[in-house]
């Protein structure tokens, strides 16, 4: 159990309203490397998540009522949330599921 906690890292996120104000953009403030196929497999196990579209470059999923577009570089666009705090919460939950990280 202690080894698993040691693997959990802090992931700093920048959350901001997109220029067209239709979604929130979430950027990871450090370089992340992850396998989108592995992420898909982990997300499929999460009860809150339903994958709508999967390609080798991006994935579109529903997390609760939010729609999340996740790019291979870690960038997310989050729609159908009330505010920046809800977007950050959704982004953190997605990252916790795919990468065992804390936000």
**What pLDDT digit, counting tens, does each position of 30-49 carry?**
888 889 999 999 999 999 99
Q: What angle do CA 30, 23, 102 make, to 5 degrees?
A: 35
Question: 17-26 pLDDT, tens per residue?
Answer: 998 899 999 9
Residue 40: CB atoms within 10 A of its CB come to: 16
Q: Using CB atoms within 10 A of its CB, is residue 90 exposed (0-12), middle (13-18) or buried (19+)?
A: buried
Q: Whole-angstrom Cα distance, residue 35 to residue 44?
A: 14
Domains with residue ranges and CATH for the chain: 2-102 (3.30.310)
**Mean pLDDT (whole number) for 57-75:** 96
Q: What percent of the chain has pLDDT over 70?
A: 91
Can you give the pLDDT at residue 9? 66
pTM of the full predicted structure? 0.87
């Amino acid at each position: 159990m202690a080894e698993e906690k040691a693997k959990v890292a802090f992931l700093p996120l920048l959350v901001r309203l997109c220029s067209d104000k239709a979604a929130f953009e979430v950027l990871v403030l450090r370089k992340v490397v992850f396998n989108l196929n592995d992420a898909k497999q982990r997300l499929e196990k999460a009860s809150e998540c339903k994958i709508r579209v999967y390609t080798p470059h991006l994935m579109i999923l529903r997390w609760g009522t939010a729609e999340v577009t996740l790019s291979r570089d870690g960038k997310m666009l989050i729609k159908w949330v009330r505010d920046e705090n809800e977007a950050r919460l959704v982004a953190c939950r997605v990252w916790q599921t795919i990468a065992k990280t804390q936000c």
